[in-house]
A = this chain, B = another copy of it.
């Protein structure tokens, strides 16, 4: 880390050469275990040969629809296909990022807020209320530190009405975090002796927008209108589909290679078993479309679908099926699990999403799924959810699911034309491009809903 020798320091150029050589001996990223069928690395190759075109296009897009202040995107990489399966505007997990990229996070925060909130000094961070989860509290600490280092005064307020006095919570690892009760003062929310100009929302509002955040004069980012009580996954993926159509024309790629097919079905009641037949029929229709694509590309894998609550998060109410008939045969336990989403919200609208195989594995065979983090329009890092003992077509973000985070070793903005597509810099760059397409879809979602 510190290198205060007096011999010539390692220069940019030397370091590039060193890294270049290292690539030949190190395992750069989790290994792709996909069978040698289908267009392996096709997506990455197309992306890596058109970087300037892609970046110029993104520059114009962000001017039209500014990126959400925070976002994270769960990706799946099947070798022949690289696509997002979930886009979160209120991400946890900042504690899992590579600490070497803290300066990048800080600069991104400065860039994202510098122009839009010039006079702003004080930020009120509004986290989730589950205060006993130390991993989450660590993420809150990191998010706070990013904005503190970016040059803001940041305090943390709780949306939990049971927090009525300033409360110091143990975030583990020797770190403590002060959570303070919110006060509504006219059309503003405040803490004691703290009048914030901006509210930074890190709570997905699964149970709706609380009264205390209604009709505020203060600006709140990301918008409360995209909390999970009102946001639909299918709406996000509709915007994503449109983004991908434009992008695919730009770089001449089959949009399917980066876009999971999807459909939404309404009027579902898993407990009363209403609407399940329509759901199964729609699932079969989607599976047939995927099978056609697999056949066209010579892909020998078995297609599958993810069935998710259309408005929900946290991997609750999620299941995988390989044919529609499976939905007609759910047992009581499975139906109960599907019927309720986070915050005890009843599920009556379901997203059917094409499953994308996770073919990235660690040397010991553990499946590794990338999650990419953005602050504003900038990709600031990511990590792999590394999970032992789970199948490549299972949902790794399921309730009670255990994973080890493995931080990306390099930044996502340093593609290197000289290196192979499996080089980590290039792999991470490709992740960053697909993740930014999802963030752009979220930006359009926000604009469409009249958010900011």
Contacts and interface: CB of A to CB of B under 8 A. Distances in A.
A147 to B, nearest CB: 10
Contact of A9 (B96, B104, B121, B142): B96
Contacts of A254: none
Nearest to A14: B173
A32 interface: no
A58 B13 contact: no
Contact of A10 (B99, B111, B138, B172): B99
B56 A11 contact: no
Contact of A151 (B16, B54, B138, B150): B54
B378 A142 contact: no
Contact of A11 (B15, B52, B96, B153): B96
Interface stretch (A22-30, A158-166, A233-241, A439-447): A22-30
A186 interface: no
A120 interface: yes
Contacts of A132: none
Interface string A22-53: 10001110100000000000000000000111
Nearest to A113: B59
Interface string A374-394: 000110000100100000000
A110 B151 contact: no
Contacts of A100: 100
A174 B11 CA distance: 13
Contacts of A172: 13
Interface residues of A, number: 90
A102 B406 contact: no
A404 interface: yes
Given A4-B362, A28-B2, A119 B56 contact: yes
A60 B149 CA distance: 17
A351 B277 CA distance: 86
A58 B8 contact: no
A151 B52 CA distance: 4
Interface of A: 1-4, 6-17, 19, 22, 26-28, 30, 51-56, 58-60, 62-63, 94-104, 106-108, 110-111, 113-115, 118-121, 138, 141-142, 145, 148-153, 171-175, 362-364, 366, 377-378, 383, 386, 404-407, 409-411, 413-415, 424
26 contacts: A2-B22, A2-B26, A2-B27, A2-B424, A4-B406, A4-B409, A6-B364, A6-B366, A6-B404, A9-B406, A11-B99, A11-B405, A12-B96, A12-B145, A13-B172, A13-B173, A16-B99, A52-B152, A52-B153, A54-B151, A102-B411, A103-B104, A104-B107, A106-B414, A149-B415, A150-B413
Please provide the 8 A-B residue pairs with the shortest distance between their CB atoms, ordered closest to farther: A55-B151, A103-B411, A15-B99, A111-B111, A56-B121, A12-B142, A9-B407, A12-B99
